[in-house]
A = this chain, B = another copy of it.
Amino acid sequence: MTESLLQRRARVLGPNVPTFYIDPVHIVRGDGVWLWDANGRRYLDCYNNVPHVGHCHPRVVEAICNQAATLNTHTRYLHEGIVAYAERLTAKFSGGLDTVIMVCTGSEANDIALRMGQAVTGKTGVIATDNTYHGNTAAVSQLSTKKPPIGGYAPNIRRVPSPDSLRPLGGSADGQARVFAAHVLDAIEDLEASGHGFASLILCPFLANEGFPDLAPGFLDPTAEVVRRAGGILIADEVQPGFGRLGSHWWGHERIGIAPDVVTLGKPMGNGHPVAAVVARPEVTAAFREAFGYFNTFGGNPVSCAAASAVLDVLEDEDLVSNAAQSGEYALERLRALEHPMIGDVRGAGLFLGVEFVGDGMSPAPEFTARVVEAMKARGILLNRLGRHYNCLKIRPPMPFSRANADILADTLTEVLAEMPV
């Protein structure tokens, strides 16, 4: 049945639609941190951040059902839902991030954020890291495309080398913050010289797709200073680290200690319901709306706001940010105790953890990492890999992930590594 489903899928969705795993899983049910496949097999979900407060959390489901049965319309009529949610959301931010534009996907949020930079500065240049991902619209996919788009790379984008834990920019961890800021400054000067000018730096404050290198608080201070001095705006893409995932803080930018002008939110915001947002200082939002106008039919509809609001309820009432800190610290301890010659690094924060595998001379070991991922799946643990070399396990479970879940993860990884040829 799964094979036939794969064939039907390829026919109707087209070629090159990726699945996870060599033998893809056919998931039919979810509950908390657990997923079940069509054969009734249970998997521990150590990967998915979209079902942030747990798969099918009853309070989120109830909120969606109640609102969907009552009213679902757009924001050109007044509705309490979006206003109350936006007030509640902005209260989670400091630094004057007091206005919200609600949309449906993180891609739409970042597509707006880039235009906010343009509206504020009157310039078009954007800087991102060279191993990032900010979404799939024509504009933002330019930030991460690995091959030249039709018509060529956008001329107003500069990509700077990503920081790295094992291979620090400039050769030493101590100097990495200054070297990164220097790359950003070079890119700014290049954009200014090219005539596009510098509008914004966009980055995930946890540098998740870059492999979330261990960066001390203050690491981005020199970079933020360079951006400010050049009159650009700083966009923090919180799609991955946001909503308390890092345990110590609600937002990745708080943890690393920067004050962005714009924050974008996505995946975990509605526990799977398609809702996303841009949070910005009022004058930034005003400049964007003045320069571009904007309306999003589904954005901020009552059901989306009910779902997003229920996610905040559960995060608060179940104390899930503290859980991310505590379970995450415990899981990190357990992972740090793993023994295998190919473990190059174990790192992370809260419930965003990784194990980086390397070979001789700290060379990245992506194939080995892929085999670990497959072996873990075969034993009922879903996770994946990321980073520039795809040699780092990506462990990013739903927020109710417990110490007992961490034990299952670590015990299984111990077994898998024990059986893995070096």
Show the binding face of A for B, using Cβ within 8 Å.
2, 5-6, 8-9, 11-20, 24-30, 35, 48, 50-51, 55-56, 58, 60-61, 64-65, 68-80, 82-83, 86-87, 90, 98-101, 103-108, 111, 114-115, 118-119, 122-124, 136-139, 141, 145-147, 149-151, 156, 196, 266-267, 271-275, 282, 285-286, 289-298, 300-301, 303-304
Contacts and interface: CB of A to CB of B under 8 A. Distances in A.
Residue of A13, A141, A291 with most partner-chain B CB within 10 A: A13
Contact of A86 (B12, B90, B136): B12
Nearest to A114: B138
B136 A6 contact: no
Contact of A290 (B16, B75, B111): B16
Contacts of A119: 150
Contacts of A296: 105, 107, 136
B71 A30 contact: yes
A147 to B, nearest CB: 8
B56 A61 contact: no
A295 B13 CA distance: 12
A298 B274 contact: yes
Nearest to A270: B298
Contacts of A77: 19-20, 24-27, 35
A413 to B, nearest CB: 21
Given A108-B107, A286-B15, A83 B8 contact: yes
B20 A86 contact: no
A72 B27 CA distance: 10
Contact of A35 (B5, B6, B73, B294): B73
A26 B87 CA distance: 18
A272 to B, nearest CB: 4
Number of copies: 2
22 contacts: A8-B87, A9-B82, A12-B83, A13-B99, A13-B100, A15-B289, A18-B295, A27-B77, A28-B70, A28-B80, A30-B73, A35-B73, A50-B74, A51-B73, A56-B69, A104-B298, A105-B297, A108-B108, A108-B136, A111-B138, A119-B150, A274-B298
B51 A72 contact: yes
Contacts of A71: 27-30, 35, 55-56
Given A136-B295, A150-B118, A150-B291, A69 B73 contact: no
A26 B78 contact: yes
Contacts of A86: 12-13
Given A15-B289, A35-B73, A296-B105, A139 B137 contact: yes
Contact of A289 (B17, B30, B56): B17
A73 B48 contact: yes
A381 B297 CA distance: 21
A72 B56 contact: yes
Nearest to A133: B295
Given A61-B65, A64-B65, 16 more contacts: A5-B80, A13-B86, A13-B100, A17-B75, A19-B76, A30-B71, A30-B73, A50-B72, A55-B71, A55-B73, A61-B68, A104-B104, A136-B294, A136-B295, A151-B196, A274-B304
